[in-house]
Structure 1
């Protein structure tokens, strides 16, 4: 491994100009060798993000992988929502006008269940609700989908890692079949990713960000993926990343985000990324099929 790490690191420092020695083990990607397409917060360009409607839309469009964000209510329930505040994607300001800044952690699950999480996106989605994680997992299972689950703002919710894993276990998502190919748990917090890995080492984990090449060996101890913004990576960086073996003895992968146009999709595919996270999965699919 040391030889390929050294070669890949040199390539990264020189902009990817050098050849990289082949890596061992299997990486994610489809059978055709193209990157996996992950619907970001569901098919969020076409239905309100992080709702059951958004993952149903992804399923209807033929996409198996979806991504979501998990946070915790005042009374300890896990819900699927991206922002720390409910204001952008619900009518919370109208329903609870005196409770600014309307943070998720300051509302009970019952209070959040009253909110309209669809009208902001379009009148056809009026009455759409913020799903609990349990409701969300039931729908993902019903749709036979796969999930990249993001633990959002873990610093606001002590113990959310253990709580999330308990719910996933209760819903049957930590059995060998799911762990092999249907679940990734990610976070922008390295401590949170490390906690997930320590609690359940069999889970595939991902760190959100772009650590320096010099730091990759540290992250490879607990992260199977480094999932970076597409604006921060190069072919050399991806090659350097792939040269490291992650905690399960396979090359570290990268699912890059948030890629919503054809040119960017083709560019990151040329970088040899393993997955593309996108609000417009149909646009990415068409671009990659035409490579």
Structure 2
């Protein structure tokens, strides 16, 4: 595919850019530079979101430009040249996997109008068919009226069509026992557990450390990530089952990033740091001053 050709052509420039960032981090730190990060890739030949550089991951799709966690947001990320997309997965009352962030349907759909007597409108209290009736786009803008809450299956199909990569977050795993196994089954059914996706197109993350561990146990070849800022004392244990540590920007320090990147994960690769909760300016600093591997923007 065209994007595969772009990745190959950009490889030399990527290595040079990574080296420059590592050297810059050492200068700003005023001491010996931390070990340089592993090679990182350009987002694409096009300008991604408002930011180019090492890995940029579109948070809930291109959520600043289209309603979050919808197929429209996936397509907007693709239009803006962003290969990696982050999403959130939860489960309906009848056991279907859907893509939505909040524990309730209130903020991003018209659920109050359609089902006025079912407050507090928790995701797990509605069937997939009931949720499929909801408008998940009008709250963001009239042009997105009629956009729906996607199933995980439809989301994966759209990303595959766009040749995108997925950072999948298991949201509130404690509310949905067994969801890790179910997500893996859907990924397998959709063709996302083949060697190509597993090696270079899929990472599963969660704030729930137990959920991340379960994913690794169930499907050891899939890369995983822990959201949050584990203590440095915890990092060696987490490196047994997690490939990425993804802390919020406000908790970053050069020492912490270096501590993470000094460890090797379950797939014999250096642990990576992908930060979130960032502005464009903070993202640029995260690359240059902290040498993170990526930002979720």
Which structure 2 segments of 5+ residues have no match? 1-27, 44-51
**Alpha-carbon deviations, 1:63-103, whole Å to 9, x = none?**
11100000000000000000010000000011001101100
Match of 1:267 in 2: 285
Q: Is the 8 A contact 2:227 2:245 kept in 1?
A: yes
Q: Quick one: distance in 2 between partners of 1:20 and 1:162?
A: 42
Counterparts of 1:17 and 1:153, CA distance in 2:
41
Q: Which has the higher contact order (CA 8 A, sep 6+)?
A: 1
CA–CA distance in structure 1, aligned partners of residues 79 and 124 of structure 2: 33
In the alignment, the residues of structure 2 paired with residue 189 and residue 231 of structure 1 have an alpha-carbon distance, to the nearest angstrom, of: 20
Which of residues 265, 276, 280 in structure 1 aligns to 2:295?
276
**Alpha-carbon offset, residue 134 of structure 1:** 0.4
Q: How many equivalent residue pairs? A: 261
* Structure 2 residue 172 is the aligned partner of structure 1 residue 153: yes
Structure 1 partner of 2:15: none
TM-score when normalising by structure 2: 0.84
Deviation of the 1:19 alpha carbon: 3.0
Q: Which of the numbers 30, 37, 43 marks the counterpart of 2:41?
A: 30
The residue number in structure 2 matching 1:61 is 80
Match of 1:189 among 208, 216, 225: 208
TM-score, normalised to structure 1, is 0.86
Give CA-to-partner distance per residue, 1:227-248, whole Å, 9 cap, x none: 0101111111111110011111
Match of 2:58 in 1: 39
Change (3 A) 1:163 1:17: farther
- Which residue pairs with 2:121 in the alignment? 102
Aligned to 1:114: 133
